[in-house]
Structure 1
Amino acid sequence: MTSLTRIVPDPHHTAVRADLADVDSLHKTLMRLVPDHIGPTPRATAGLLFRTEPGPDTALLVQTAHTPDLAALPTHYGTARTIDLTPLLNALTPGRTMRYRITAAPTVARSAGNPTRHPVTGKRRGKITHLTGDDAIAWWQRRATAAGLEPVTVSSLPRPFPRTHLARSAPYFTLTQFDGLARITDTTHLTHALKNGIGRAKSYGAGLLSLAPA
């Protein structure tokens, strides 16, 4: 059962302040919601995707492959409500128009100027370049199409990528929030994208695709 949990954290809680300032800390807190010892790629195995929702009161949207263990959150962390996404997934049909939102990390791998070759294939490793503006929108249109969506409207908004001095060694990503309307073209690809996320930086609050009836 794929679940979506909306957490409204208490901004006065010490753990909440630490999590909202550092995505590494937030990721570690949210991983407490899923079972331990589930293999070498626990986030992917647990289907954990999350996004920080802007607004007067910050909210966290957290998606998991199973019902999350909310009791594992720090005491008095905030209020939370979990819903089963199965009805939404079952209602996906080609031609239906949906509202969408995703905060993603648009990137492209460019080999020019990168002399490093893959040790097995011998091909040059692509240098990861972050995309913004029209390039980011074009990236989303390509990824949406591959995910079984035909974008009808697209709006984009740069989103911050909070870090602290404690996480200098971790990669930095440029995040963009995309909103709009899209028509469903392929339910199999769309279901896969909904459950597994889109793009890079899934451990850093990117990749969670949300849909709602238009």
Structure 2
Amino acid sequence: MNDHPVIARIRLNPHSRDVQRDLRDATQMHRTVMRTVPDHLGESPRHRAGLLYRLEETDTASTLIVQGNDLDPAGLPAGYGHAEVKSLTPMFSALRKGFAVRYRIVVNPAKRERLPQTENKHGKIIALSGPDADQWWIRRATDAGLQLHIITPTTMAPVRPRGKQATAMRHSLLRYDGTATITDPTALAEAVRSGIGRGKPYGAGLLSLAPASAP
């Protein structure tokens, strides 16, 4: 297994029925992405595989960004899309305190409702939006070793798991783009490997970095 994750950029084929199904159904998308990692990983296979992904859509194309410890796009359905895989080792090697970066991440900002101490149960999870979501991201980024300078939020289409065993929870997604300075390279490396926040099986949590001076 690789010391550092690899990343695959998969330009999706809009004519593929599998792609069309997955773009409508977050549960199916998760199942398809899991086909790129080894079998027999035991319990919590997504976590063991280090699998994170993000869907990026424009007016002309849809691209799936997939990160994992050991990816093989050959496991995707035939005709699903064109994949390019590269190592993230150079990126991890470049992480230095004080280094300026550009970032992108899709997150599911949420908090658990507080209940009176007399109630012996957990409060429901509440999605955050607006300034509350921005503050959530600032706190998480700080914990992840980033000092944010620019924060540009973009509201994404929400996802809801489907299927008989799926929860009824609706995942509200926000994309954040901006610039930051690295304050803790070790914490940042772990955040890149593990992802940030909830909703990771549904396209949230993958933190992408690039030098701020890059075009």
Give the alignment's TM-score, normalised by structure 2.
0.91
* Paired letter, 2:9: R
Secondary structure of 1:19's aligned partner: helix
The answer to whether the 8 Å contact 2:26/2:162 transfers is: no
1:160-205 alpha-carbon deviations (Å, 9 max, x no partner)? 1244865794321111000100100001110000000000000000
1:98 is aligned to 101
CA contact (8 A) 1:94 1:186 kept: yes
For 2:86, what is the secondary structure of its paired residue? strand
State the partner residue of 2:158: 161
SS in 2 for 1:33: coil
Mapping of residues 1-214 of structure 1, within 5 Å: 1=2, 2-55=5-58, 56-66=60-70, 68-112=71-115, 116-117=119-120, 124-163=121-160, 166=163, 169-170=166-167, 171-214=169-212
Instruction: State the percentage of identical aligned residues.
Output: 43
CA contact (8 A) 2:100 2:179 kept: yes
| Aligned-partner Cα distance in 2 for 1:115–1:34 | 45
Structure 1 spans left out of the alignment, 5+ residues: 118-123
C-alpha separation between the residues in 2 aligned to 1:164 and 1:105?
Answer: 14
What is the Cα-based RMSD across aligned positions, in Å?
1.7
Listed as ranges, the gaps of 5+ residues in structure 2 are: none
- The answer (yes or no) to whether the contact 2:159–2:171 under 8 Å persists in 1 is no
The two structures have a TM-score, normalised by structure 1, of 0.92
Counterpart-to-counterpart distance in 2, 1:95 and 1:168: 46
AA of the residue aligned to 2:192: L
Q: In the aligned structure 2, how far is the partner of 1:133 from the partner of 1:31? A: 32
Please give the alpha-carbon distance, in whole angstroms, between the structure 2 residues aligned to 1:206 and 1:65: 17
SS in 1 for 2:48: helix
The letter for the 2-side match of 1:58 is S
Aligned-partner Cα distance in 1 for 2:117–2:172 = 21
CA distance in 2, matches of 1:49, 1:16: 18
Aligned residues: 207
Structure 2 Cα separation of the partners of residues 173 and 165 of structure 1: 12
